[in-house]
Each structure stands twice: as structure tokens, then as C-alpha cells.
Amino acid sequence: MVTIRLHNGKTRMKEVFVPIDPMNVRVYVCGPTVYDRAHLGNARPVVVFDTLFRLLRHVYGAGHVTYVRNFTDVDDKINATALARKEAGAAGTLEALIAERTEETIRWYHEDMDALGALRPTHEPRATAYVGQMIAMIAELVARGHAYARDGHVLFRVRSFAEYGRLSGRSVDDMIAGARVEVAPFKEDPMDFVLWKPSDDSLPGWQSPWGRGRPGWHIECSAMSLALLGASFDIHGGGIDLQFPHHENEVAQSCCAHPEAEFARVWMHNEMLQVEGKKMSKSLGNFFTVRDLLGQGVPGEVIRLVFLGTHYGRPMDWTAEKAGQAEATLRKWRAMVAGVQPSAPSGAVVAALADDLNTAGAIAELHALAAAGDAAGLKASAGLMGLLQDDMGGWAEAGVDLAPYAARLAALRAAAMETKDFAPVDAMKAALLAAGVEVRMSKAGVEVLPGPGFDAAKLEGLL
């Protein structure tokens, strides 16, 4: 059995991973709020935890890992979008417009994440399907004295949970000193956070013991992880930005509702993504979605390889140069593994991944396999990382049969060898290069392959 070591954000140490139940390893990762296309930053945790999912499936068996990633479809941004559509004259009730918006966004999300080679999680629960469970958990928290109702709101009583702040390394008193918390008259303590809030008629709402309302953001993950993975599970993941307050609040809710359990044993946080050295933001003008990149012709597999080139715990910089290098690497590897039956993943690659998802180290091992000419091992090992899969390699293929061009060039070359006039050969070669075709001539013959920027249209008239 491969020993997996993971950096546990709860203990701040790298620990040997021991599942609660090796027959059912359970992972929960915070998913997207489905109000718009996923931007590139949203994709990082998807790729990181997909790699973890693949590793766990490899080690414990594909049928022995349960991976849950939620869709947050209760959110004021979604409401705002739907409301705007309604005011613009869209037909249907607000609820219908909201459902339409979330359905549409989930479809986009799936398309985009599929393109990155991410496996679909075992379960992708939608918050709206678990409001009953959320209400039950909130009621439990109230009954246990960890929450209180005021003015149609229900708030979590932060002072009732001594461990509050441990995950994110903060103390309640320090945070209040920072004074960047919303002070509301109905709060007992400024740090208390909302479990339930009232909805007026313009907002979606559910009936509850506290009136018609909707859940606060944090409770959904506590309720859905409980429903799908149980009160204790193995790994909880998400972006480091979620560590506080989201994950801290999840811990508080879940541990107070189920003090007998341990909630998540291991916490994993991926660091943030940057673009050309800067934070991606709309104001800097460097904000873009996964779909934008795909639309520009950057293959999902290239995005994936770039992501995996940096350890998940470090900030990752997306640059055009990296994308170019990743594309060149993948073209080389794909040419090598074409038509090859994968063998078993290399032990060195598995070992690297098992060492707290050292994907950069694993990629170095892929290079070693390529250098050693082990195409079968390369294909299998890359497959473990979601790379070089048959179903995502279309981008590297020419789409047209280049064999006639190779034959033509070979004929010209053979003639030139006799006449010593290489001008016609060079002319054709230049034209092929201009079309993005890689030309290799050797004693053995002529090879032509699609290269970066390949454009079939530019091949017109070359035959």
C-alpha cells in the first residue's frame, strides 16, 4: 500500500494519511457559486483536488473513494442576476429565472471543467436541495445553545465554541480588535455569523421555524457534508481564501452540532492563482474565464499541465510563456504515446503524488519516463494525473491528413538530391513551417507534424 502524506491545515504539519474507512475514503471540496462562468482561479482547486481524487482512487480503488463538491445555488448574486433579467422583461417567476440561471451556469461549469480533464465528483449536491437538512442543523445548534434567533435571523454564537479560530490561527479577540466585522444590532457579539436570514417577497425563501428565509452561506457545506459523508470524514478541501471565515464557520457549525464526531480530519487549502505576476482582478484588466482561454485555442490539457507545474500550496502564476511551454511538452509526449497501450503508472510518479501532491516532482518523473523512451509508462503515469488521455487529445491532431504533404516534400527532396537545386524543397518547407507544420527530414525519410499555431487553411495549394 502506498503511503500518502498530506499537509494538514488543521495541524500545520505534513502527516501520514490514514483513512477512517479505507473502503470508503471521503472527501469534501467547496464548489462554485453558480452565478457566472468560472474564471481561471476557480479552476485551480478543481484541478488540484481532481488530482487528489485520482491518487486516492489509484491507491484505495476507484469504487472506494467518495468525492463531494457542492454547487452553491443560494446566493444574492444569483438573485440579482435573475432579478435583473425579470426587470428586463424576462418571462417566468423569479424562482424560475433563478433556476434557469443556475442550470445554465452548472452546464457551463461542467463543460469547462471537463475540458480540464477533471473527473466529475461522486456527488455534486445543490444547496437548494438540502435546505431541509440545513434547517435541521440550525435547529440543533439552537437547541444546544450554540445559536440564537433574533428578528428572523439565526446567528451562531461564536463565544460558545472555544475552538473558534483554531483552523485559521486567529483569536476572536484579535479579530474584533481588527474591527472589520459587520456590527448588527441583533448580534450578541460582533463575530457572530448568520445561519439563517429572512427573505422578503423579492427573494427566494423557504419556510422555517424562524419564518420565511434563506440560509447563510456557511451552513450548506456543514449540512451537505453531513448528509453525504457523515459527521466525520477524511479530507476537506478548498482555496486558502475560504479558510476564514467560511471553513472556520463550517468547523464551528459541524463540531457544535455533532460534538461526538471530528468533522474533517485533514484540511487542504490550495494557494491562489495569479496572472503574469499579479492578482487576477477585474480592475487590473487581467480577469478571464476558463472559457476565454479555451476559446483562444489554449487546450484544457495545457491549462492542466501548467497548473500541475506548481505545488498546490504555493501561489501559482499563469503566464502565456508557461502555456506555450506546456503545449510544446504535451505535443512531444502525445507524439510519443500515440497508439501505445498504457502500462502501469510509474512508482516514482505515484510516490511524488503521494508526497503531499508533489505534482511538479511527478512531472519531472514524466520527463524521465519520456527520456527513457518508456511510452507505455509515460501514458499510464500521465493518465494518473489526468494528462495524455485519449479523449482530450484532439487539439494536438492536425484534423487533416498530412501524409500527402510529406510525400510531396520527399519527392522534391529526392529530385533535389540529383539536381543539387534545393530551392523547390526549401520553398515547400518554408510554406509548411508557415502553416505551423513541423518538418523533419532525415536519411530515413520525411516527417511532418502539426506544431504550435498549426493552421490547415495555410496548406492550400501546396500539393
Partner RNA sequence: GGCGGGUUGGCGGAGAGGUUACGCAGCGGAUUGCAAAUCCGUGUAGACCGGUUCGAUUCCGGUACCCGCCUCCA
Kindly identify the residues of this chain, within the stretch 386-445, that bind RNA according to CB under 7 A: 413, 416-417, 422, 425-426, 429, 438-443
Q: Pattern 244-273, binding to RNA, x per CB under 7 A?
A: xx-------------------------xxx
> Between residues 274 and 389, which has the closer beta carbon with respect to RNA?
274
Answer positive or negative: Cα dihedral of 88, 93, 97, 98: positive
Answer positive or negative: Cα dihedral of 115, 434, 338, 379: negative
Least distance from RNA to the Cβ atom of residue 309, Å = 5
Q: Which stretch binds RNA (CB under 7 A): 121-129, 152-160, 351-359, 391-399?
A: 351-359
CA-CA distance, 364 to 309, in Å (whole number)?
9
Determine if 151 is a binding residue for RNA (CB under 7 A).
no
Q: Which stretch binds RNA (CB under 7 A): 120-128, 140-148, 202-210, 276-284?
A: 276-284
Give me the helix-helix angle, 219-229 and 131-143, nearest 10°: 100
In the region spanning residues 188 to 207, those forming contacts with RNA, defined by CB under 7 A, are 194
| Greatest Cα-to-Cα distance within the chain, rounded to the nearest angstrom | 95
The response to whether 110 counts as a known ligand-binding position is no
Residue of 1, 88, 89, 178 interacting with RNA (CB under 7 A): 178
> Between residues 135 and 273, which has the closer beta carbon with respect to RNA?
273
Residue of 239, 299, 342, 345 interacting with RNA (CB under 7 A): 239
> Between residues 43 and 115, which has the closer beta carbon with respect to RNA?
43
> Between residues 19 and 451, which has the closer beta carbon with respect to RNA?
451
Residue of 127, 264, 363, 382 interacting with RNA (CB under 7 A): 363
Q: How far is CA 380 from the centre of its chain?
A: 22
Closest by alpha carbon to 307, among 296, 297, 317?
Answer: 317
Burial of 391 (0-12, 13-18, 19+ CB in 10 A): exposed
**Which cell numbers in the block locate residue 209?**
421555524
CA-CA distance, 273 to 309, in Å (whole number)?
13
The response to whether 282 counts as a known ligand-binding position is yes
Residue of 91, 185, 282, 341 interacting with RNA (CB under 7 A): 282
Q: Pattern 57-96, binding to RNA, x per CB under 7 A?
A: ------------------xxx-------------------
Residue 126: strand, helix, or coil:
strand
79 and 97 in contact (C-beta within 8 Å)? no
CA-CA distance, 90 to 201, in Å (whole number)?
18
Closest by alpha carbon to 5, among 314, 380, 268, 344?
Answer: 268
Least distance from RNA to the Cβ atom of residue 422, Å = 4
Burial of 87 (0-12, 13-18, 19+ CB in 10 A): exposed
In the region spanning residues 310 to 329, those forming contacts with RNA, defined by CB under 7 A, are 310-311, 314-317, 321-322, 325, 328-329
CA-CA distance, 409 to 90, in Å (whole number)?
59
**Which cell numbers in the block locate residue 174?**
484579535
> Between residues 231 and 462, which has the closer beta carbon with respect to RNA?
462
Least distance from RNA to the Cβ atom of residue 416, Å = 6
The response to whether 250 counts as a known ligand-binding position is yes
Residue of 22, 152, 211, 361 interacting with RNA (CB under 7 A): 361
Residue of 255, 358, 385, 405 interacting with RNA (CB under 7 A): 358
Q: In degrees rounded to 5, what are phi and psi of residue 350? A: -60, -45
DSSP at 120: P
Other residues' Cβ atoms within 10 Å of the Cβ of residue 405: 22
Known binding positions for Zn(2+)? 30, 221, 246, 250
Known binding positions? 30, 221, 246, 250, 282
